[in-house]
């Protein structure tokens, strides 16, 4: 189908959660979804920033339905609390797992996990486990699969990391980030296989944003303006704004034709309209038992079954 990011399918009646939604790609994904009529749930760790993001969306679109949930991805206790709150909503049609720490420090989460692994992989897996029954219930009630959209990066296809020990963190920040996103992709595709086997009406889809830079991002009060930090990026001449970088995830969440195990990315690699692309074979369909080993590790690190027992 022809996809128009400026004219999204009507999302009226659907409830979609966006983590990391107080800035950058997460904020603009939430704004675009709200514009299309979705009941958007902003999820982040700062109540004040959540209030600012909600006000920013409502100032541009007064009729937008926007609510907030506090979640700190560096604390599994906070993730469990947020999952319980989200599961209590009347319906839950989708989640964009966009949140995760971007600092390159060696600090640990509240649970003693490496920050990149803990916030980008383990916390998101725990959140999925917590809300999966609600997603499945909504899918059955409305006769169409709900959606879990995972945020990845093009670095995954360029660098290979051994996933036998997820706690072994590469010494560079970009290495730690890429290994975390490699594990994210393996989890996303294995999640799709397991949900399909369980006949759950939920789709697991991967997206990557391309390159989004502050210099090309539209201003929003308190979100992207003179008061917010500005990150320089050497790829700025070839890049896009973070509003455009949100398109891949938004399409994965809203395109009626989207299916589980698909991968959405900008058509020009670093920028452009979102299209489906071929995923990296070693994450989508490992020839060995990598997916099983990653799954077992994530269940142990999250302290819970990632696909809880439920009626199919």
Q: What is the mean pLDDT of residues 54-65?
A: 97
pLDDT digits (tens, 9 = 90+) for 113-156: 999 999 999 999 999 999 999 999 999 999 999 999 999 999 99
Is residue 293 within 8 Å of 164, Cβ to Cβ? yes
78 in a structural domain: yes
What is the model's pLDDT at position 310?
58
pLDDT digits (tens, 9 = 90+) for 202-213: 999 999 999 999
What residues contact residue 20 under an 8 Å CB cut-off, 6+ apart? 26, 43, 44, 98, 99, 100
Residue 256 has pLDDT above 90, yes or no: yes
309 in a structural domain: no
Residue 236 has pLDDT above 90, yes or no: no
167: domain CATH number is: 3.40.50.720
Q: What is the mean pLDDT of residues 88-96?
A: 98
307 in a structural domain: no
293 in a structural domain: yes
Q: For the chain, what is the domain count?
A: 1
Question: What's the pLDDT band for 235 if we cut at 50, 70, 90?
Answer: confident
Q: Mean pLDDT in the chain?
A: 94
311 in a structural domain: no
In the chain, how long is the greatest CA-to-CA distance? 51
58 in a structural domain: yes
CA distance 180 to 6: 32
What residues contact residue 162 under an 8 Å CB cut-off, 6+ apart? 168
7 in a structural domain: no
231 in a structural domain: yes
Question: Which residue range(s) make up the domain with 127?
Answer: 15-302
Residue 312 has pLDDT above 60, yes or no: no
Q: What is the mean pLDDT of residues 215-227?
A: 90
């Amino acid at each position: 189908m022809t996809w128009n990011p400026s004219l999204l399918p009507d999302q009226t009646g659907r409830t979609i959660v966006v983590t990391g939604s107080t800035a950058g790609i997460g904020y603009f994904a939430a704004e675009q979804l709200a514009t299309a009529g979705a009941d958007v749930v902003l999820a982040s760790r700062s109540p004040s920033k959540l209030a600012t993001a909600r006000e920013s969306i409502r100032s541009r679109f007064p009729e937008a339905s926007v609510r907030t949930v506090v979640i700190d991805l560096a604390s599994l206790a906070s993730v469990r609390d947020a999952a319980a709150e989200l599961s209590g909503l009347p319906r839950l049609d989708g989640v964009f797992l966009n949140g995760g720490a971007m600092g390159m420090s060696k600090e640990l989460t509240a649970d003693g996990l490496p920050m990149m692994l803990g916030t980008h992989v383990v916390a998101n897996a725990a959140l999925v486990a917590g809300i999966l029954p609600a997603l499945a219930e909504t899918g059955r009630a409305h006769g169409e699969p709900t959606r879990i959209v995972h945020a990845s990066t093009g670095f995954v296809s360029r660098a290979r990391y051994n996933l036998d020990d997820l706690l072994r963190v590469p010494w560079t920040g970009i290495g730690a980030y890429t290994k975390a996103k490699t594990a994210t992709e393996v989890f996303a595709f294995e999640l799709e296989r397991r949900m399909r086997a369980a006949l759950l009406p939920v789709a697991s889809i991967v997206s990557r944003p391309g390159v989004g830079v502050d210099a090309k991002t539209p201003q929003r009060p308190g979100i992207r303006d003179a008061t917010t930090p500005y990150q320089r990026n050497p790829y700025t001449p070839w890049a896009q704004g973070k509003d455009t970088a949100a398109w891949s995830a938004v399409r994965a969440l809203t395109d009626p034709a989207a299916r589980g195990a698909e991968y959405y990315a900008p058509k020009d690699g670093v920028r452009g309209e979102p299209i489906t692309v071929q995923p990296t074979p070693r994450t989508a369909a490992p020839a060995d038992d990598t997916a099983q080993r990653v799954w077992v590790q994530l269940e142990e690190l999250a302290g819970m079954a990632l696909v809880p027992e439920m009626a199919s």
